[in-house]
């Protein structure tokens, strides 16, 4: 049992470190540093260690180094799961899936560089790559979240007789995933087409010639409200099915409201980089809380331990 608790703490650490890497990646995009290593990967400007690097190169190269460290941490997570848990255990599956998704995360990042979907590139294809990157990132975070949750003893999901509950949570999970994808492309538009005033931003958004990345500024807030309803519904259903999830459900709703508030400030203050990073962090925390709540809502009640979301 002590080994499992130690493994769970390590898994939470890997998740936290991965979140820092995600935020750094967002800073690379927001600061226009994605081309800091040119169109070279895994080398940086054709070198293993860049000499006399510019600021953009340091930012991009630093992101690559931390991404590599995250990959090694996830490999350690998967290898340790194979040693400490029996064959077919859900912790093994979650950690193994995290390893696969970390590799695809690196490959998508490499594709963005090699195809030059970085810096000021505004091709529509870049939006699809960014959306795919976000989906992979969220699935990776979900796998990294379930690993310690299940290692702490939360049982695997039981779906029998929970049809309505399954629909509610499926809508909430899909909604947050779609909202995150929309937010990633919207943030890309804010980076590529910055404005100096709210009125300029409004004119740009509603222009007949507005780029599709800019037009998403209209739909993203509307989608956020709809997804918020699904998130609140999932929280209510979870509490009804098991009152012990009350504190976690409240945390989820609070995080989502904070994310909405920061999103409004992001619009009002014309998307400064710092606020973009806070908005992204809250989006990740909402996703983590929803994944944990889903795992607990569908776990066997008689074996469900006391909530430990605070350990995240």
Q: Which residues of 67-97 are buried (b: 16+ CB within 10 A; e: fewer)?
A: beebbebbeebbebbeeebeeebbbbbbbbb
Mean pLDDT, consecutive 10-residue stretches, the chain (312 aa), reads 84 98 95 88 85 87 95 97 94 98 96 92 95 97 98 85 86 97 94 91 89 90 96 96 93 98 93 95 98 91 44 39
Phi-psi region of 211 (alpha: psi -120 to 50; beta: other; left: phi over 0): beta
- CA contacts within 13 A on the Cβ side of 10: 19
| Structural tokens at position 279 | 């908005």
- Residue environment code for 170-204, b if the CB has 16+ CB neighbours within 10 A, otherwise e: ebbbebbbbbbbbbbbbbbbbbbbebeeeeebeeb
Distance CA 57, CA 63 (A): 10
Q: What is residue 163's predicted lDDT score, i.e. its pLDDT? A: 83
- What does each C-alpha distance from 16 to 74, 193, 289, 294, 300 come to in angstroms? 12, 31, 13, 20, 27
Q: Are 232 and 253 in contact (CB under 8 A)?
A: yes
pLDDT attached to residue 192: 94
- Rounded CA separation 22/183 (Å): 14
Q: What is the pTM of this model?
A: 0.92
């Amino acid at each position: 049992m002590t080994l499992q608790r130690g493994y769970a703490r390590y898994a939470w650490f890997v998740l936290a470190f991965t979140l820092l890497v995600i935020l750094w990646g967002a800073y690379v995009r927001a600061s226009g540093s994605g081309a800091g290593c040119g169109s070279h990967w895994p080398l940086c400007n054709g070198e293993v260690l860049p000499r006399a690097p510019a600021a953009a190169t340091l930012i991009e190269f630093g992101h690559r180094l931390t991404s590599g460290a995250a990959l090694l941490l996830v490999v350690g997570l998967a290898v340790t799961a194979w040693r400490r848990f029996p064959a077919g255990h859900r912790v093994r599956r979650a950690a193994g899936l995290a390893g696969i998704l970390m590799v695809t995360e690196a490959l998508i990042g490499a594709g963005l560089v090699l195809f030059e979907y970085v810096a000021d590139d505004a091709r529509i294809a870049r939006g699809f790559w960014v959306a795919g990157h976000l989906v992979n990132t969220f699935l990776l975070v979900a796998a990294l979240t379930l690993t310690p949750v299940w290692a702490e003893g939360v049982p695997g999901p039981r779906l029998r007789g929970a049809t309505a509950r399954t629909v509610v949570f499926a809508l909430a999970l899909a909604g947050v995933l779609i909202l995150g994808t929309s937010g990633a492309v919207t943030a890309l538009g804010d980076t590529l087409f910055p404005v100096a005033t709210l009125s300029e931003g409004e004119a740009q958004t509603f222009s007949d010639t507005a780029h599709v990345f800019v037009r998403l500024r209209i739909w993203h807030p509307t989608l956020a409200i709809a997804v918020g309803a699904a998130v609140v519904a999932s929280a209510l259903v979870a509490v009804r099915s098991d009152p012990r999830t009350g504190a976690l459900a409240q945390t989820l709703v609070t995080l989502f409201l904070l994310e909405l508030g920061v999103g409004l400030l992001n619009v009002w203050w014309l998307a400064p980089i710092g606020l973009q990073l806070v908005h992204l962090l809250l989006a990740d925390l909402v996703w983590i809380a929803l994944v944990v709540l889903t795992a607990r809502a569908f776990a066997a009640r008689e074996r469900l331990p006391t909530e430990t979301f605070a350990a995240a």
